[in-house]
Structure 1
Amino acid sequence: MSGFKIFFSLWGRISKQRDLGEREEFIEGITGKRSLKALDKWEYAKVMDELTRIGQSFGIGTGTKRWDAKANGIRRRIISNFHQMNYGDAVKEAKVWAEKQTKMDFNEIPQAELSKLVGVSDKLVRQYEAKLRGK
Protein backbone atom coordinates (compact mmCIF):
# COMPACT_ATOMS: atom_id res chain seq x y z
CA MET A 1 0.00 0.00 0.00
CA SER A 2 1.24 3.44 -0.73
CA GLY A 3 0.15 7.05 -0.73
CA PHE A 4 -3.22 7.75 0.80
CA LYS A 5 -4.36 4.12 0.56
CA ILE A 6 -2.75 3.34 3.92
CA PHE A 7 -4.45 6.34 5.51
CA PHE A 8 -7.91 5.42 4.22
CA SER A 9 -7.51 1.75 5.08
CA LEU A 10 -6.47 2.54 8.64
CA TRP A 11 -9.10 5.29 8.99
CA GLY A 12 -11.85 2.86 7.98
CA ARG A 13 -10.71 0.10 10.34
CA ILE A 14 -10.38 2.46 13.32
CA SER A 15 -13.70 4.17 12.56
CA LYS A 16 -15.47 0.85 13.05
CA GLN A 17 -14.32 0.81 16.68
CA ARG A 18 -14.07 4.49 17.60
CA ASP A 19 -15.73 7.65 16.35
CA LEU A 20 -12.90 9.90 15.17
CA GLY A 21 -15.22 12.63 13.92
CA GLU A 22 -14.90 14.05 10.44
CA ARG A 23 -11.73 13.24 8.55
CA GLU A 24 -11.08 16.89 7.64
CA GLU A 25 -11.42 17.99 11.27
CA PHE A 26 -9.05 15.21 12.40
CA ILE A 27 -6.42 16.34 9.88
CA GLU A 28 -6.95 20.01 10.71
CA GLY A 29 -6.51 19.32 14.42
CA ILE A 30 -3.04 17.92 13.76
CA THR A 31 -1.74 20.09 10.92
CA GLY A 32 -4.01 23.10 10.55
CA LYS A 33 -4.87 22.02 7.00
CA ARG A 34 -8.12 20.29 6.03
CA SER A 35 -7.18 17.89 3.22
CA LEU A 36 -4.60 15.19 2.67
CA LYS A 37 -3.65 16.67 -0.71
CA ALA A 38 -2.64 19.94 0.97
CA LEU A 39 -0.14 18.22 3.27
CA ASP A 40 3.58 17.96 2.65
CA LYS A 41 5.30 14.65 3.45
CA TRP A 42 6.20 15.72 7.00
CA GLU A 43 2.65 16.74 7.83
CA TYR A 44 1.32 13.53 6.31
CA ALA A 45 3.78 11.55 8.46
CA LYS A 46 2.54 13.43 11.53
CA VAL A 47 -1.09 12.56 10.70
CA MET A 48 -0.15 8.90 10.08
CA ASP A 49 1.78 8.70 13.35
CA GLU A 50 -1.26 9.96 15.28
CA LEU A 51 -3.65 7.65 13.43
CA THR A 52 -1.29 4.71 13.95
CA ARG A 53 -1.03 5.50 17.65
CA ILE A 54 -4.81 5.46 17.96
CA GLY A 55 -5.04 2.27 15.93
CA GLN A 56 -2.42 0.48 18.00
CA SER A 57 -4.41 1.21 21.16
CA PHE A 58 -7.11 -0.98 19.58
CA GLY A 59 -4.64 -3.54 18.26
CA ILE A 60 -5.06 -2.31 14.69
CA GLY A 61 -1.98 -2.07 12.49
CA THR A 62 -1.50 -0.22 9.23
CA GLY A 63 -1.41 -3.38 7.15
CA THR A 64 2.27 -2.84 6.38
CA LYS A 65 5.20 -4.91 7.59
CA ARG A 66 6.56 -2.07 9.66
CA TRP A 67 3.58 -2.01 12.00
CA ASP A 68 2.15 -5.51 11.81
CA ALA A 69 5.32 -7.59 12.19
CA LYS A 70 4.60 -8.66 15.77
CA ALA A 71 0.97 -9.62 15.08
CA ASN A 72 2.05 -11.58 12.00
CA GLY A 73 4.68 -13.39 14.07
CA ILE A 74 1.98 -14.42 16.53
CA ARG A 75 -0.24 -15.64 13.65
CA ARG A 76 2.67 -17.74 12.34
CA ARG A 77 3.21 -19.24 15.79
CA ILE A 78 -0.45 -20.28 16.00
CA ILE A 79 -0.16 -21.92 12.59
CA SER A 80 3.09 -23.59 13.69
CA ASN A 81 1.29 -25.05 16.70
CA PHE A 82 -1.25 -26.64 14.37
CA HIS A 83 1.62 -28.07 12.30
CA GLN A 84 3.03 -29.60 15.50
CA MET A 85 -0.32 -31.26 16.13
CA ASN A 86 -0.08 -32.86 12.66
CA TYR A 87 -3.12 -31.24 11.07
CA GLY A 88 -3.26 -31.98 7.35
CA ASP A 89 -3.90 -28.38 6.32
CA ALA A 90 -2.55 -26.59 9.37
CA VAL A 91 -2.98 -23.10 7.93
CA LYS A 92 -6.66 -23.61 7.15
CA GLU A 93 -7.37 -25.35 10.45
CA ALA A 94 -5.57 -22.65 12.47
CA LYS A 95 -7.54 -19.92 10.72
CA VAL A 96 -10.86 -21.70 11.24
CA TRP A 97 -10.06 -22.33 14.90
CA ALA A 98 -8.98 -18.71 15.56
CA GLU A 99 -11.99 -17.28 13.73
CA LYS A 100 -14.31 -19.54 15.72
CA GLN A 101 -12.70 -18.36 18.98
CA THR A 102 -12.90 -14.63 18.18
CA LYS A 103 -15.71 -14.31 15.60
CA MET A 104 -13.28 -12.22 13.47
CA ASP A 105 -11.34 -12.76 10.28
CA PHE A 106 -7.92 -14.27 11.09
CA ASN A 107 -5.98 -11.36 9.57
CA GLU A 108 -8.11 -8.77 11.38
CA ILE A 109 -7.70 -10.19 14.90
CA PRO A 110 -6.02 -7.56 17.10
CA GLN A 111 -2.62 -8.30 18.60
CA ALA A 112 -4.01 -8.48 22.15
CA GLU A 113 -6.47 -11.22 21.13
CA LEU A 114 -3.76 -13.04 19.18
CA SER A 115 -1.61 -13.13 22.31
CA LYS A 116 -4.42 -14.87 24.18
CA LEU A 117 -4.96 -17.31 21.31
CA VAL A 118 -1.30 -18.27 21.13
CA GLY A 119 -1.42 -19.16 24.82
CA VAL A 120 -4.43 -21.39 24.23
CA SER A 121 -2.85 -23.01 21.17
CA ASP A 122 0.37 -23.66 23.16
CA LYS A 123 -1.77 -25.42 25.76
CA LEU A 124 -3.41 -27.51 23.02
CA VAL A 125 0.05 -28.58 21.80
CA ARG A 126 1.07 -29.63 25.32
CA GLN A 127 -2.15 -31.65 25.68
CA TYR A 128 -1.58 -33.24 22.28
CA GLU A 129 2.01 -34.21 23.18
CA ALA A 130 0.92 -35.60 26.56
CA LYS A 131 -1.70 -37.70 24.82
CA LEU A 132 0.94 -39.06 22.42
CA ARG A 133 3.15 -40.02 25.37
CA GLY A 134 0.22 -41.84 26.87
CA LYS A 135 -0.19 -39.74 29.99
Structure 2
Amino acid sequence: MDTAAKDESLFIHSEIHNVPDVSPGDISEKLGNDWDQREEGSIIGLLNASAQQITALIALSDSTYVVTQWQTALLSWAILGVAILANTVLFRKLPLIEGIVTFLHVLGFFAFVIVLWCVFETHRPQNYLVIVQER
Protein backbone atom coordinates (compact mmCIF):
# COMPACT_ATOMS: atom_id res chain seq x y z
CA MET A 1 0.00 0.00 0.00
CA ASP A 2 1.51 3.32 -1.01
CA THR A 3 1.67 6.31 1.34
CA ALA A 4 -1.13 8.21 -0.41
CA ALA A 5 -3.47 5.27 0.07
CA LYS A 6 -2.39 4.99 3.72
CA ASP A 7 -3.10 8.69 4.31
CA GLU A 8 -6.47 8.39 2.58
CA SER A 9 -7.31 5.30 4.60
CA LEU A 10 -6.40 7.18 7.79
CA PHE A 11 -9.02 9.84 7.09
CA ILE A 12 -11.70 7.51 5.77
CA HIS A 13 -11.40 4.78 8.39
CA SER A 14 -10.90 6.10 11.89
CA GLU A 15 -11.53 2.76 13.53
CA ILE A 16 -9.08 1.33 16.00
CA HIS A 17 -8.42 -1.91 14.10
CA ASN A 18 -6.87 0.03 11.21
CA VAL A 19 -3.81 0.99 13.25
CA PRO A 20 -1.58 -1.66 11.55
CA ASP A 21 -2.69 -0.39 8.12
CA VAL A 22 -1.65 3.22 8.68
CA SER A 23 1.57 2.61 10.60
CA PRO A 24 5.04 2.46 9.00
CA GLY A 25 6.07 -0.78 7.30
CA ASP A 26 8.26 -2.42 9.97
CA ILE A 27 5.86 -1.50 12.76
CA SER A 28 2.87 -2.59 10.66
CA GLU A 29 4.23 -6.13 10.41
CA LYS A 30 4.65 -6.33 14.18
CA LEU A 31 1.23 -4.87 14.97
CA GLY A 32 -0.72 -6.85 12.38
CA ASN A 33 -1.45 -10.09 14.23
CA ASP A 34 -0.91 -8.88 17.79
CA TRP A 35 -3.44 -6.06 17.43
CA ASP A 36 -6.20 -8.42 16.29
CA GLN A 37 -5.40 -10.86 19.10
CA ARG A 38 -5.58 -8.12 21.71
CA GLU A 39 -8.92 -6.92 20.35
CA GLU A 40 -10.37 -10.44 20.37
CA GLY A 41 -8.97 -11.08 23.84
CA SER A 42 -10.63 -7.99 25.23
CA ILE A 43 -13.97 -9.02 23.73
CA ILE A 44 -13.67 -12.48 25.29
CA GLY A 45 -12.72 -10.93 28.63
CA LEU A 46 -15.76 -8.64 28.56
CA LEU A 47 -18.05 -11.57 27.72
CA ASN A 48 -16.63 -13.60 30.60
CA ALA A 49 -16.90 -10.67 33.04
CA SER A 50 -20.54 -10.10 32.05
CA ALA A 51 -21.37 -13.77 32.50
CA GLN A 52 -19.65 -13.85 35.90
CA GLN A 53 -21.60 -10.80 37.06
CA ILE A 54 -24.89 -12.41 36.01
CA THR A 55 -24.06 -15.69 37.76
CA ALA A 56 -23.00 -13.75 40.87
CA LEU A 57 -26.36 -11.95 40.91
CA ILE A 58 -28.15 -15.29 40.57
CA ALA A 59 -26.05 -16.72 43.42
CA LEU A 60 -26.88 -13.73 45.61
CA SER A 61 -30.61 -14.12 45.05
CA ASP A 62 -30.70 -17.92 45.48
CA SER A 63 -28.64 -19.36 48.34
CA THR A 64 -28.88 -22.93 47.01
CA TYR A 65 -27.38 -22.05 43.62
CA VAL A 66 -23.82 -23.25 43.04
CA VAL A 67 -21.85 -21.44 40.33
CA THR A 68 -20.07 -23.77 37.93
CA GLN A 69 -17.63 -22.88 35.18
CA TRP A 70 -19.60 -24.52 32.38
CA GLN A 71 -22.65 -22.41 33.19
CA THR A 72 -20.57 -19.25 33.04
CA ALA A 73 -19.09 -20.35 29.71
CA LEU A 74 -22.53 -21.16 28.31
CA LEU A 75 -23.82 -17.78 29.49
CA SER A 76 -20.85 -16.11 27.74
CA TRP A 77 -21.87 -17.78 24.47
CA ALA A 78 -25.46 -16.66 25.00
CA ILE A 79 -24.36 -13.05 25.55
CA LEU A 80 -22.24 -13.26 22.39
CA GLY A 81 -25.22 -14.60 20.45
CA VAL A 82 -27.46 -11.78 21.65
CA ALA A 83 -24.78 -9.22 20.74
CA ILE A 84 -24.39 -10.66 17.24
CA LEU A 85 -28.16 -10.79 16.80
CA ALA A 86 -28.51 -7.19 17.93
CA ASN A 87 -25.76 -6.00 15.59
CA THR A 88 -26.90 -7.91 12.51
CA VAL A 89 -30.68 -8.15 12.69
CA LEU A 90 -31.81 -5.32 14.93
CA PHE A 91 -29.56 -2.59 13.53
CA ARG A 92 -32.41 -1.28 11.38
CA LYS A 93 -34.56 -0.86 14.49
CA LEU A 94 -31.82 0.89 16.47
CA PRO A 95 -33.42 4.38 16.41
CA LEU A 96 -36.69 2.90 17.67
CA ILE A 97 -34.90 0.97 20.43
CA GLU A 98 -32.94 4.08 21.45
CA GLY A 99 -36.19 6.07 21.61
CA ILE A 100 -37.85 3.43 23.78
CA VAL A 101 -34.86 3.28 26.14
CA THR A 102 -34.75 7.08 26.38
CA PHE A 103 -38.48 7.19 27.12
CA LEU A 104 -38.10 4.56 29.85
CA HIS A 105 -35.20 6.47 31.42
CA VAL A 106 -37.21 9.71 31.50
CA LEU A 107 -40.23 7.85 32.86
CA GLY A 108 -38.09 6.21 35.54
CA PHE A 109 -36.57 9.56 36.53
CA PHE A 110 -39.98 11.13 36.99
CA ALA A 111 -41.26 8.07 38.88
CA PHE A 112 -38.30 8.36 41.26
CA VAL A 113 -38.74 12.11 41.77
CA ILE A 114 -42.52 11.83 42.29
CA VAL A 115 -42.09 9.09 44.89
CA LEU A 116 -39.51 11.14 46.77
CA TRP A 117 -41.69 14.21 46.53
CA CYS A 118 -44.74 12.42 47.94
CA VAL A 119 -42.91 10.53 50.68
CA PHE A 120 -40.86 13.41 52.00
CA GLU A 121 -43.52 16.08 51.60
CA THR A 122 -44.32 16.23 55.32
CA HIS A 123 -40.72 16.58 56.52
CA ARG A 124 -38.69 19.74 56.35
CA PRO A 125 -35.29 19.40 54.66
CA GLN A 126 -33.71 21.65 57.30
CA ASN A 127 -34.19 18.91 59.87
CA TYR A 128 -31.83 16.67 57.92
CA LEU A 129 -29.48 19.07 56.14
CA VAL A 130 -28.87 21.89 58.63
CA ILE A 131 -29.13 20.40 62.12
CA VAL A 132 -26.12 18.31 63.11
CA GLN A 133 -26.65 15.84 65.94
CA GLU A 134 -23.80 14.21 67.80
CA ARG A 135 -24.21 10.54 68.46
Higher helix share: 2
TM-score of the pair, normalised by structure 1: 0.24
Q: Which has the higher relative contact order, 1 or 2, with Cα contacts under 8 A spaced 6 or more apart?
A: 1
Larger radius of gyration: 2
